[in-house]
Amino acid sequence: MSRLALLLALLLAVPAAAQTAHVRVEAEAGEVWVDGDRVGRAGEWVEAAPGVRDLTLVEDSQTWDPRRAQTQVTLATGDSLVVRIALPVRLRVETLPIRATIVRQGPEGLDTLGLAPLTLDADAGESVVLVASLDGYESVRQSVEAGQARVTLVLPLLEDAVPEVALLPTERSTLGRTLIDMGIAAATLTAGAVAVRYKFRADELDDRYRTEGFAEFGDESVRQEVLSLDRTSTIALGAMQVGIGALALRFVLR
């Protein structure tokens, strides 16, 4: 009788122990989640119930907006499955001037991402086509190579946005025209330098505002300073473009 009881216990224990599968995610680093539950880290064997499961690799769940990649796997009882998952490449998109609308072009159509500056995640090895548009400026379309971490799209002013004063021909002497051209060129170069300087400063503060660990993280006053710097950079950029347009028109009308 004791042998029969032992045999029954063994038969009951075998199915219970076998009602699992094992998965290992091949990746450089990251956390492994199965159906929304954290079960381990990349490179480790983890248990999962048989069936169709959502397998997610998360860069670091303790950080703000971590990169993540997800796939679906079908597991059978007793399976030992190795799955390769690559985290996406995070791309920072900026525009001059700031707050242009960014649209992503893809095989499935257009996807409006929002106002620059912003970030988007793209699959490793995948190029991205972006279109930036803003009232008063020409739209810009640019292809971003795979693996690139940052891109800046510069939107030129529309032709009808050039002030009328820049369209008027001059009747002054050659020397006078030359001096005016030199003055416009100097002002244009200065405006360009100011635009670049303020833009870089705004980007630096914006990164600190958005990144945990910096004293400026989440500070509203820093955000206001970023917007102020961007506005100044935009004004300087507009002045530079007007100067370039004025010089071109003066050259044509000579």
User: Domain-by-domain residue ranges, the chain?
Assistant: 2-84, 89-154, 159-253
When pLDDT is cut at 50, 70 and 90, the band that residue 38 belongs to is very high
State the average pLDDT over residues 165-184.
Answer: 60
Which strands form 21-26's sheet, in the order they lie side by side? 45-48, 21-26, 80-84
When pLDDT is cut at 50, 70 and 90, the band that residue 16 belongs to is very low
Residue 253 structure tokens: 């009308």
pTM over 0.85: no
When pLDDT is cut at 50, 70 and 90, the band that residue 254 belongs to is low
State the average pLDDT over residues 59-63.
Answer: 88
When pLDDT is cut at 50, 70 and 90, the band that residue 102 belongs to is very high
Give Cα separations from 10 to 18, 63, 81 (angstroms).
Answer: 12, 46, 27
Residue 179 structure tokens: 């001096």
The top-level CATH class assigned to 89-154 is mainly beta
pLDDT(140) > 70: yes
When pLDDT is cut at 50, 70 and 90, the band that residue 161 belongs to is low
Residue 208 structure tokens: 């600190």
- Cis bond before residue 156 (omega within 30° of 0): no
The H or E element spanning position 199 is helix 174-210
Domains 2-84 and 89-154 share a fold: yes
2-84 under CATH 2.60.40, yes or no: yes
